[in-house]
């Protein structure tokens, strides 16, 4: 849309300025317009410093409509956001600090709203599993890792507040992860 506006204005400027005897002046006016428009767009970008600004960044995602942030938490100076859209998508957006209280999008992952989101991030050369479920009101979650074919004891998280769970990877090698949420009636969500 913005490119179409730039092209339309440049064509209009060219038509208006074409009768002028000096084509260099026409070129200079069109170039000044493009540079000015680009500068305005650059300085008006969302900087991730507020929840609303991060929602604007999420609005540019290729899937989902009208992304909103349901929950956020800070982790090692990063902001981990649980997001949802009007067309029943849920996801995790990770924002990395870049100075003066500003954040840029580091990574994102989304699924249909009734599916558990399992993704990962590397912070300070350490891998973390990031897990969130926005599909139903749940009581707790069990996260079970499998190392060398052996299931480990489940990690139990309270899920009543729809929290985002961030767990350090159990190993630097290959491992499996199984996540199950339970509601207060004992129903499973996998």
Mean of per-residue pLDDT scores for the chain: 85
Q: Are 90 and 84 in contact (CB under 8 A)?
A: yes
pLDDT bin (cut points 50, 70, 90) of residue 114 is confident
pLDDT at residue 92 above 90? yes
What angle, 0 to 180 degrees and rounded to 10, lies between the N-to-C axes of helices 2-17 and 23-43?
160
Rounded to the nearest 10°, the torsion over CA 131, 52, 58, 40 is -150
- The predicted pLDDT at position 79 comes to 96
Q: What is the pLDDT of residues 121-167, one digit of tens each?
A: 999 899 999 999 988 889 999 999 999 999 999 999 999 988 999 99
Is a pLDDT exceeding 60 seen at residue 39? Answer: no
Please count the other Cβ atoms lying within 10 Å of the Cβ belonging to residue 111: 19
| pLDDT interval class at 19 (50, 70, 90) | low
């Amino acid at each position: 849309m913005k490119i179409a506006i730039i092209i339309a204005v440049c064509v209009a400027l060219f038509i208006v300025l074409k009768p002028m005897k000096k084509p260099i002046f026409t070129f200079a006016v069109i170039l000044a317009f493009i540079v000015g428009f680009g500068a305005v767009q650059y300085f008006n970008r969302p900087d991730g410093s507020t929840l609303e600004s991060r929602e604007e960044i999420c609005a540019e995602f290729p899937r989902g409509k009208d992304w909103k942030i349901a929950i956020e938490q800070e982790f090692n100076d990063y902001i981990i956001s649980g997001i949802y859209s009007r067309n029943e998508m849920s996801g995790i957006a990770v924002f990395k600090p870049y100075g003066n209280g500003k954040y840029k999008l580091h990574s994102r992952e989304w699924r249909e709203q009734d599916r558990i989101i399992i993704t990962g991030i590397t912070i300070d050369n350490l891998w973390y599993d990031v897990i969130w479920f926005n599909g139903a009101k749940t009581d707790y979650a069990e996260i079970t890792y499998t190392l060398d074919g052996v299931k480990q004891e489940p990690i139990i998280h309270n899920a009543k507040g729809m929290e985002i769970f961030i767990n350090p990877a159990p190993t630097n090698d290959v491992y499996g992860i199984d996540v199950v949420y339970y509601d207060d009636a004992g129903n499973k969500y996998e």
